[in-house]
Chain A
């Protein structure tokens, strides 16, 4: 622009019409106009510099002011119809003064300078962009009109009245200058509308140049053809109308289709955002958007549920109000980081609700971008996981408790699968077998089982696979030292898992086998006793007898007495051996329980006493005795011992009386045998039932001292107890009790055998 001005001024200076007037016979640009363009061009140049500063701005302002002054003075000259001679003065300054009548600047040119000058000034101070652009646009229209005048060869368009016309290049220069001013700050004022990125602006940008250029071209063509005489005016008007209607229709259709396309995009976006909005509304999570300044920008019902704040209570307030107070600074830095680093962050935080309640929240922070990709804020999705955390904590505690039981158990505990692997074992395993827990876990348990027990173990696993419990299963496991341990199992299957509690019963097994061994030894001992101890007795007794026969009449009384004593001793010893054998048998023999009628057994005994006893005239008082379940042979032994004792110890009585009775006892029944015999001292009551314990010497009463020991053993094997009461010379009562399970004989028809 300034160049145009400089070139024209140079033209004047050098008096080259080609430079001042462009076209021959056309109006030339006046030197003062050229100066105006130079100044306006400089001002515009200053304003569009990439980095404006105070100097450029000031320069622009000064230039603009001069342009306004020039234009304004010319306008005043025209209005007052006086000439101040600025133009002449300038010309004189430049040229040699050859041309005396250079003429005045066109009035429209002057007005345009004023308009554009003011526009530049406003732009320089960044004030009133709308006004500036309006002024520039006005100037642009004036210039365009003038230019059109030249194009259409219509003088009235570039010359007002008889005043100086606007030169063609002046019009073009104004056109360019106004365009420059309009585009200099396209981001503000009216131009912002055209440069905007919305659909309307977009269409305006595309359509406007065509709308402007098209009629001008059509009009020009019409004038051209009309003036050439090819067509007449009516045809020209028709042609113009048709072209305008057609082209306008095309533009409208183009605009409409563009709008439709834009609308579809917008509609789709709306639907998608409505969907998103629905999701956000319906979400149980709090979905919060946060602006760059950390204030809350949006809030959904989920947020209201979780925090207790309504949307209007939080929107515009800082996000940190939702965070536990001591975490607020940290939360701010997390927000900043998310905004800066453009990363999605997942956090577990303590947040605070409206009522001050703190809760554990799972937070997902992600940046929100605008269409250009710039981060404009972030979204914050918050879920209240207090309950989950609590239940996880509860679960963990329970697991810990179970774990504690698992590790502290004295039993062997394990979890295995039906495929035969240890999944988990407790430390007790390590103690018992010697392998580290880590070695056992994951190991195949059959590898440890004794080869002879593998078949049985597989069978047990089979039952577990069929979801049956397995109890009291015993197999042997090889310990690290090569020995085998007996393990007793109780296993419970759950799906493919086996939960098992086991116990090392090796010691018990050893004790059992030791006991069996001892029992066997005892048995063979009694066997030997019964065979070998009796033989010498028989020999003593036999040969004494033979001696008595062979020496009949030859021995004196004393010698005869010796022989008798030897024979009696041998006999007593035989009784002792029999008693001990019985006692041993009572302890060992298996009980064969049957229904017994005690009453009948007592009567049977009484009927079968020997004749000597019968002659003594004993008064028998036998009450109704209970039927019991017991071993017949053993109970017969008991009754015969007790009744035999009663008979024996009532020997000295003139009126012997023996009573047999019963009474219910807690948990069972008690039976007693009472006599009015010699009795005993209660001080020795405890000794009565011991082996070889006698309270009377053998000269008073015969006996081996084993009978009551036998009674006690039999009764205790039946689960009962024995005791005695008595006083010296006051008689004695012997009691035994039988518990209910023994005392209750059960339904009779099941025990036909028991009835004798």
Chain B
């Protein structure tokens, strides 16, 4: 029996990046499992089931793909909020960013990020990287128990 595929929550404020990311995931047949939100606030709304996500079904996403530079609430704040909430802290988070800055790396890992991926400039590399990420977190990885299927 084929394993159930987990939900991917993509937080990306740049629609072009989002389109390319979705394209890459689509190539691996993960497009229908992806929920794209535009900013950090929406991520927290989703996770905490409030606002427009008040009525969403139970269960956490298999992974949150989080951009760092976002309007309103940035990625680092989202990560901090999730890691400090006992009911959310187990959710895997992957930083997907353009920044190679060491301080971002250090801070992300010290907050307990599960992976840190720098978006490659070359599209084929980017395609490859995002696709593998999706496959790994949504399919290969055994998620924590409260993850939605």
Contacts and interface: CB of A to CB of B under 8 A. Distances in A.
B53 interface: no
The winner among A538, A539, A546 for most chain B CB atoms within 10 A is A538
Contacts of A531: 68-69, 97-99
A541 B98 CA distance: 14
Contact of A542 (B69, B98, B123): B123
A544 interface: yes
A545 B122 CA distance: 9
Interface in A541-586: 541-546, 567, 570-571, 574, 578, 581
B123 A541 contact: yes
B101 interface: yes
Given A538-B20, A539-B17, A544 B123 contact: yes
A541 B124 CA distance: 9
A539 to B, nearest CB: 4
The winner among B17, B121, B127 for most chain A CB atoms within 10 A is B121
Contacts of A541: 121-123, 126
Nearest to A534: B98
B16 interface: yes
Contact of A538 (B98, B99, B100, B101): B98
Interface residues of B, number: 20
Contact of A535 (B98, B100, B120, B122): B98
A537 interface: yes
A532 B69 contact: yes
A592 to B, nearest CB: 12
Contacts of B16: 535, 539, 542-543
B132 interface: no
B14 interface: yes
Given A531-B69, A535-B17, A539-B17, A581 B123 contact: no
A723 interface: no
Contacts of B68: 531
A405 interface: no
B101 A570 contact: no
Contacts of B14: 535
A571 B122 contact: yes
Contacts of B122: 541, 571, 574
A527 interface: yes
A530 interface: yes
A530 B69 CA distance: 11
B101 A530 contact: yes
Contacts of A574: 121-122
Contacts of B127: 542, 545
B23 interface: yes
B98 A530 contact: yes
The winner among B69, B101, B123, B124 for most chain A CB atoms within 10 A is B123
The winner among B20, B98, B99 for most chain A CB atoms within 10 A is B98
Contacts of B120: 538
B17 A538 contact: yes
A538 B97 CA distance: 12
Contacts of B121: 534, 537-538, 541, 570-571, 574
Interface in B114-141: 119-124, 126-127
A577 to B, nearest CB: 9
B149 to A, nearest CB: 31
Interface string B4-18: 000000000010110
Contacts of B23: 542, 546
Nearest to B124: A545
Contacts of B101: 527, 530
B23 to A, nearest CB: 7
Contacts of A542: 16, 20, 23, 123, 126-127
Interface in A492-550: 527, 530-532, 534-535, 537-539, 541-546
Interface of B: 14, 16-17, 20, 23, 68-69, 97-101, 119-124, 126-127
Given A530-B99, A532-B98, A535-B17, 11 more contacts: A527-B99, A531-B98, A534-B121, A538-B20, A538-B98, A539-B16, A539-B17, A539-B20, A543-B20, A543-B123, A574-B122
13 contacts: A527-B101, A530-B99, A531-B99, A537-B121, A538-B98, A538-B120, A539-B16, A542-B16, A542-B23, A542-B123, A545-B124, A570-B121, A574-B122
Closest 9 CB pairs of A and B: A574-B121, A545-B123, A542-B123, A534-B98, A542-B20, A539-B16, A541-B123, A531-B98, A531-B69
